[in-house]
Structure 1
Amino acid sequence: MRILAAGDEFVGTDLLKAAVRAELGTEPEFGELSLPWPVVPFGPVGGVNEASGTEDEVIEALGGAEVAVTQMAPFTKKVFAAAPGLRLVSVCRGGPVNVDLTAATEAGVAVTYAPGRNAAAAAEFAIGLLLAALRRIATSSAELLAGTWRGDYYAYANAGIELEGTTVGLVGHGAIGSRVARVLAAFGAHVLVADPYADPAKVAADGAELTGLDDLLRRSFAVSLHARLTEETRHLIDADKLALLPEGAVLVNSARGGLLDYAPLAEALRSGRLGALALDVYDVEPPPPDWPLRDAPNVIATPHLAGASRQTADRAAAIVAAEVGRYVRGEALANVANPDVLGR
């Protein structure tokens, strides 16, 4: 069996190969492809989103492969048409956005993904952004390094806010939001959750209160976004929703850029409607040179790093390798994005 390992600078080709070897206990024939993400940002390729490399590179590297494991390689209609022997594409991401699922199903190719691979890393990062915003950690550090000692941050009017006793709203209660809820509850925060698909018993077990989005926004001094991006949730937080927040509230988005309407944010910060904004994801990545938030006050911005831990990469490789093992042994695949293909 030939297996394409299409790695990148995060989940590397050698890491994918090692995980597959460990799972199978044999040395399969490998095709290899090394992609430039994240040194070169991902983008749309051949009709799929968030991909790295080209269709022709993937076609050449497949070379008759039956299985492919990857994080970022584009698997498009053109690629599937050129690879009639391909039967499994295992993507080590929370969703296979770099795969044309319709084309895969038409070609009889099962596509799997890796839910929860970065849940620990992303939850920790969200908590870090929240603490940094509430306690001015990042902004005061930047000011000090630039030569300004902000002793006035110790004035009562400017002092930070503790998590203990503060109401924090979480929009979304999946694998990441659930972890964040438990950590916040341990800090002593009062945690609200807005998620129409959440299990009320699980929310309560995490030490949180389930409520509606508008109620959450009105009651929360800090809000962190953890929903999946769908047509239903695109621009879920817009100018009207921002207006529901208490004056001076803190907003964190380390989930998906499309959840947030970025247009009103700079003015919300300048007016004091928002007290601080912490971002790891954006509507355009990377943000352009004339990005309005570059000179807005109290902004923390990191370059899409929430899931960037070594453990995430190791876990992702292990998850896709496990799917390869199931395929080889004739077992049911665990996380299939296009289940309609299984009856073929």
Structure 2
Amino acid sequence: MVRIAAVGDNFVLPQLFEDALARHALSDLSFQHTTLPWPQVPFGSVGAVHEASGGEDDTIAAVQGAEIAMTQLAPFTRAVFDSSPDLRLVSVCRGGPVNVDLAAATDAGVVVSFAPGRNAQAAAEFSVGMMLAAMRKIGDGNTALHRGTWRGEFYSYSHAGMELAGNTVGVIGFGAIGRLVTDMVLAFGAKVLVFDPYLDGSTVPPEGVTLVDLETLLSSSRVVTVHARLSEESAHMLNASTLSLLPGGSVLVNTARGGLLDYSALPALLDSGQLGAVALDVFDEEPPPLSWPLLGRDNVLLTPHLAGATQQTAERAASILATDVARFIAGQSPEHVANPEVLAQLSLTS
């Protein structure tokens, strides 16, 4: 009997993990379900890990006696691994296991797998939606009309929006989400510039796409959409200096990570007209405080970190994890492993 801790939340439900594993027709599985409070309670840092829900004691109780843990947000810290000697696999349904202390997992001989691309379609569609809403003043028009104001000036030439067709869109980050966004805006008739320092020289961009450096992208794009990973190198890559390269009236969309953008630079850039609009789904502090200077402003479209929030994302995430868990139970290596050095200690086939 393999004991599996399904540590879900109110988005990726524990039952989704069990249902996804059931499609692999495995026998002798025992499940213990736990539901963490996210998203009703925002995630945060726990110990040395980030973007986690619940505490160390909650996780220790949830995985007690389990050999395999499936989760999205539970914090797997050194204290959790020290208190969970039965664990052999922690499978995290996210693009990267930021809520797992990889060094502690490796020291404990626990394999950590993750789920790249699980929200790519959802995030790409949402990003293009944010782009269109900001370019065409959909958010401002909606808010004003709800308040009884007809913003007829949006039809005047000086206030009218712009189309994607014929414009240049700068895509920062060319992973799964960035590639889907590129395909979508190409279909609108846009030209695309891409910046991604991690692309190797063998990458051949699609027709209509040019690979450039960040400065060229910013100075040549009327719309910029961000899909990079947050790291020490990429933190605040978009700031007062780099954003000053944008053509006047440009639109900036960030659905990736708040830390990629220096938000303190935005009010002045909006006031000067350097930025015509911003659309933000992620923030340097989530939720932003009521004193945040961008709240209540025209040309600022805000959503509460919703880009990946579709039922299909949750189902896809559970399915990706179930495939890796099924492989592990069968004595095979999971496809997406964050600490492959642990595999050398185990008798797993490829």
Residues 200 and 147 (structure 1 numbering): CA distance in 2 closer, same or farther, change over 3 Å? farther
TM-score of the two chains, using structure 2 as the length reference: 0.96
Q: Which residue of 1 aligns with 2:33?
A: 32
Q: Which residue of 2 aligns with 1:211?
A: 212
Q: Which residue of 2 aligns with 1:112?
A: 113
| 1:63 has 2:68 as partner | no
Q: Which residue of 1 aligns with 2:273?
A: 272
CA distance in 2, matches of 1:8, 1:169: 35
- For residue 283 of structure 1, give the secondary structure of its aligned residue in structure 2: coil
- For residue 37 of structure 1, give the secondary structure of its aligned residue in structure 2: coil
CA distance in 2, matches of 1:108, 1:130: 44
| 1:308 has 2:332 as partner | no
Deviation, 1:204, is 2.1
CA-to-partner distance for each residue in 1:86-141, whole Å, 9 max, x for gaps?
11000001110110000000000000000000000000000000000111111111
Q: Is the 8 A contact 1:200 1:210 kept in 2?
A: no
Q: Which residue of 1 aligns with 2:193?
A: 192
The correspondence of residues 155-174 of structure 1 with structure 2, limited to 5 A, is: 155-174=156-175
| 1:130 has 2:136 as partner | no
Q: Which residue of 1 aligns with 2:249?
A: 248
Equivalent position amino acid for 2:332 in 1:
E
Structure with bigger helix share is 1
Q: Is the 8 A contact 1:48 1:99 kept in 2?
A: yes
- For residue 295 of structure 1, give the secondary structure of its aligned residue in structure 2: coil
CA-to-partner distance for each residue in 1:58-104, whole Å, 9 max, x for gaps?
11121211100000111110000011111100000111011000000
CA distance in 2, matches of 1:45, 1:74: 6
CA distance in 1, matches of 2:77, 2:26: 31
CA distance in 1, matches of 2:321, 2:92: 6
CA distance in 2, matches of 1:171, 1:115: 18
Equivalent position amino acid for 2:296 in 1:
D
The correspondence of residues 81-120 of structure 1 with structure 2, limited to 5 A, is: 81-120=82-121
CA distance in 2, matches of 1:19, 1:134: 39
| 1:227 has 2:228 as partner | yes
- For residue 181 of structure 1, give the secondary structure of its aligned residue in structure 2: helix
Q: Which residue of 2 aligns with 1:335?
A: 336
Q: Is the 8 A contact 2:72 2:92 kept in 1?
A: yes
Deviation, 1:45, is 1.1
Q: Is the 8 A contact 1:168 1:190 kept in 2?
A: yes
CA distance in 1, matches of 2:337, 2:98: 13
CA distance in 1, matches of 2:33, 2:223: 45
Equivalent position amino acid for 1:332 in 2:
S
CA distance in 2, matches of 1:51, 1:198: 30
**What's the Cα RMSD here?**
1.2
Q: Is the 8 A contact 2:26 2:326 kept in 1?
A: no
CA-to-partner distance for each residue in 1:304-325, whole Å, 9 max, x for gaps?
0000011000000001111110
Deviation, 1:147, is 1.0
Q: Is the 8 A contact 2:175 2:227 kept in 1?
A: yes
CA distance in 1, matches of 2:253, 2:176: 17
Equivalent position amino acid for 1:118 in 2:
N
Q: Is the 8 A contact 2:333 2:343 kept in 1?
A: no
- For residue 295 of structure 2, give the secondary structure of its aligned residue in structure 1: helix
CA distance in 2, matches of 1:243, 1:131: 22
The correspondence of residues 170-181 of structure 1 with structure 2, limited to 5 A, is: 170-181=171-182
Deviation, 1:206, is 5.8
Number of equivalent positions: 344
Residues 84 and 206 (structure 1 numbering): CA distance in 2 closer, same or farther, change over 3 Å? farther
CA distance in 2, matches of 1:215, 1:54: 44
CA-to-partner distance for each residue in 1:217-273, whole Å, 9 max, x for gaps?
000011000111111100010110111001111000001111000011012112211
- For residue 223 of structure 1, give the secondary structure of its aligned residue in structure 2: strand
Give percent identity, aligned residues only: 56
Q: Is the 8 A contact 1:31 1:63 kept in 2?
A: no
- For residue 141 of structure 1, give the secondary structure of its aligned residue in structure 2: helix
CA distance in 2, matches of 1:277, 1:74: 33
| 1:263 has 2:272 as partner | no
- For residue 16 of structure 1, give the secondary structure of its aligned residue in structure 2: helix
Q: Is the 8 A contact 1:223 1:250 kept in 2?
A: yes
